Structure 1
Amino acid sequence: MDQYLNFEAEDFVWDPFFRQWVLAPTRESDAAWTQWLAENPQILPVTRQARQVVLALRTNEPALSASEIDSIVKNTVARIQQTGQEPDTRTLPRRPFYKAVWFRFAASVALLIVAGWFVMHSKLNEQLPAIGTLGTGPAQEQTQPQQIKKTNATAHPMIVRLSDGSQITLSPSSSITYPVRFTDSKREVVLNGYAFFEISKDPDRPFFVYANELITKVLGTSFTINAFESSHQVTVEVKTGRVSVFTKAGAGLQAKAGKREQEGVVLSPNQKIIFERDDVRMVKTLVEKPEIIVSKSQVPHFEFEDTPASQAIASIGKAYGIDIIFDEELLNGCPVTAMLDNQPLHEKLSIICKAIEANYEIIDGQIVIHSRGCRN
């Protein structure tokens, strides 16, 4: 569809594929135009003018006379001047555009009318909402950067690269809204759905993700957000680095957005927040399958032979970046012999706890081991 990049508004008015999309869109044509316009946002103003013209001239009755055309144009101009509103397409007589000799003349006149209306109004009807205007989101600026909305209508993950070098892996049926370029002191995007974020570090410009009721603030890290509009939960899972999560309704939101230090509920690697939307409640816990976060060269061998349980547990906690709370003095006398290199975290802990007659639970994103000591 690159041939449309050089089209003017009048070219779109006469284009059969564009007219079909405006007047009788199919699933395929709507997906094609939506994707193309998302990739070429600079052409949006032109297509919106052309769309208004096509809708205004949608007709299905015999050809109009010159006097009827003149009357329609005068009435349309009068309504625009009096109300500042778009022409009501339902009041226009309907004629088959492909049979009417007058159509090109009327289209040219309507194009001028619609162009004038766009000059009079600073915001287009179908323009994506600027992030700065979203409810309890960040404060509105006088000049908002142009926004792009990417929607993944495929069955596979979609890579979205931002102007600051950050990368977003957008899952199917998900969408992300972001500026063409980050020009403010804050980098801000809006997510609907599921996405994995890899954010470029920029301490002077923190990164904010608005996802339903939650706001996630980062400086440079990787994390996942699951925030479908239809879901009862919103989750944020951290892979590397640290993020701060708070609700849009939280007190002092504007102050939080402007500070450089982390605020709200802070998440570290392998931790996640579950926000229950119905109960307006946040629960901090661990991800389902925690991963080792240290570099390969620093990964210890989880092979223990008569190793004090306290030492084995500390080694595991350090490798996964998770705080494991236990009575060190009590477990120093509990030896552990096991080979745990290939087991996931929870299985490692279960094996150790069974060996020392202990148990563990997850509390507030930490692991707490309960033990009364062991019998040697």
Structure 2
Amino acid sequence: MKNYDSYGAEDFIQDEDFRDWVQGRSSQETFWLSFLQQHPQKQEAFHLAERFIRAASVTSDEIGEAEIRKETEQFLGKAAAYIPHRKVIREPIRSARKPSTARYRLGKRVVLAMLMVVLAGLSWYVTTESRTQLMPHLAKRSTANQLVITANDSQQPLRVVLGDSSEVLLSPKSQLRYPSQFAGATRTVYLKGEAQFSVKRRNQPFMVYTGDMVTKVLGTRFVVRAFDLDKKFTVQVLSGKVSVYKPSPNQSPNNKEVKGLILHANQAAIFEKSDGNLTKTLVTNPALTTQEADENQFVYDEVALPLILREVELSYGIPIQFDEQSFETCKITATLSNESLYEKLDVLCKAASASYEITDGQIVITRKSYR
């Protein structure tokens, strides 16, 4: 049994299970995600080790020796500041040299050895030109703020924690490009592939660039899929609100208007790469958006259909359009529980001799006409 109470940053780095988790190869995802709740005093060492392992396995833009040295000195400063906080068991002094000094020098040698590994990895990646070709327009955006690349070459989703504490679940065969710390008016990242974002709410908008499509949020959960070989890019909103648009290269800074879509929970955007067309629809399997709705069944006994549809609309956060007068005399008796939204609609429409279709991210219900 591992004694995590005595773990420092170097212990986490040497822990094979921890390294596998950081690199997306672990089967103990639940354990490490809840680790800091059980060991809050290990937060500093935990995150220092996580950043170190991630830095050794990602690339940065082409940078010179001076920039690498600067980053190294900053890392050394943080690591050196951390070492004195390690618990030292003092023994009786047997010579003029203090044991605490010897331990401090040993710890510093460990840190220097770790830094040599980082520098070796950075040097190798800097000389690999193919890794800088993530997306065509990225080189222009990288000069002002150096970015790092996290690539998921495993078969499992990879968890990435950004500088603002936002979390990204990066799908296999996907890459994310982002600054180590966000600065300026926006938080901007670049995605190639698929990822689920859980964005911390800040005053700075969070921007995800995927080719010619931009997803902009303040704080919410959503999924972006944008593989090179796909004919379409998609954005699916799990909670909150998202705007999706195609940026115009000729847009004036004074013109704030952009042509795009506003998406809410359970709505999705489809971006056609061939013509740049954006359309709004619903996600494949809409989920309940309120805890109350998730805990209760939909039980109706001779209830007017308009009342039922308004409850479904509220529970899923999806607008439902219908003519209330056409359905006000339609009474429904039904119990709906674990069915999907579309299965619920099938039951209700069958009972009311109606049909539904999805238009512009909304559900439109109409009465069937018989001739």
TM-score band by shorter chain is 0.5 to 0.7
Partners of 2:252 and 2:367 lie apart in 1 by 42
Q: Secondary structure at the match of 2:344?
A: helix
For residues 1-376 of structure 1, the aligned pairs below 5 Å read 37-39=56-58, 45=64, 126=129, 135=137, 144-202=144-202, 204-249=203-248, 252=251, 264-296=260-292, 300-371=296-367
The verdict on how the C-alpha distance between 1:165 and 1:127 changes in structure 2, with shifts beyond 3 A counting, is farther
Deviations 1:328-358 (A, max 9, x none): 1221210011111111100000000000100
The verdict on how the C-alpha distance between 1:205 and 1:36 changes in structure 2, with shifts beyond 3 A counting, is closer
Q: Secondary structure at the match of 1:279?
A: coil
% identity of equivalent residues: 33
The verdict on how the C-alpha distance between 1:155 and 1:124 changes in structure 2, with shifts beyond 3 A counting, is closer
Q: Secondary structure at the match of 1:316?
A: helix
The verdict on how the C-alpha distance between 1:282 and 1:298 changes in structure 2, with shifts beyond 3 A counting, is same
User: For the Cα contact (< 8 Å) 1:236–1:274, is it kept in 2?
Assistant: yes
Q: Secondary structure at the match of 1:352?
A: helix
User: For the Cα contact (< 8 Å) 1:218–1:242, is it kept in 2?
Assistant: yes
Partners of 2:319 and 2:191 lie apart in 1 by 30
Q: CA deviation at 1:264?
A: 2.2
Partners of 1:134 and 1:144 lie apart in 2 by 17
Amino acid paired to 2:317: G
Counterpart in 2 of 1:21? none
TM-score (norm 2): 0.62
Counterpart in 1 of 2:72? none
TM-score (norm 1): 0.62
Deviations 1:273-299 (A, max 9, x none): 111212322221000100001124775
Deviations 1:287-336 (A, max 9, x none): 01000011247755311111101111110111000000011122121001
User: For the Cα contact (< 8 Å) 2:61–2:147, is it kept in 1?
Assistant: no
Instruction: Note the aligned Cα RMSD (angstroms).
Output: 3.8
Unaligned runs of 5+ in 2: 1-9, 11-52, 69-125
The verdict on how the C-alpha distance between 1:239 and 1:266 changes in structure 2, with shifts beyond 3 A counting, is same
Counterpart in 2 of 1:113? none
The verdict on how the C-alpha distance between 1:184 and 1:250 changes in structure 2, with shifts beyond 3 A counting, is same
Partners of 1:373 and 1:300 lie apart in 2 by 34
The verdict on how the C-alpha distance between 1:158 and 1:313 changes in structure 2, with shifts beyond 3 A counting, is same
In terms of Rg, which structure is larger? Answer: 1
Amino acid paired to 2:334: A
Counterpart in 1 of 2:80? none
Unaligned runs of 5+ in 1: 3-33, 50-122
Partners of 1:140 and 1:36 lie apart in 2 by 21
User: For the Cα contact (< 8 Å) 1:168–1:195, is it kept in 2?
Assistant: yes
Partners of 1:226 and 1:331 lie apart in 2 by 39
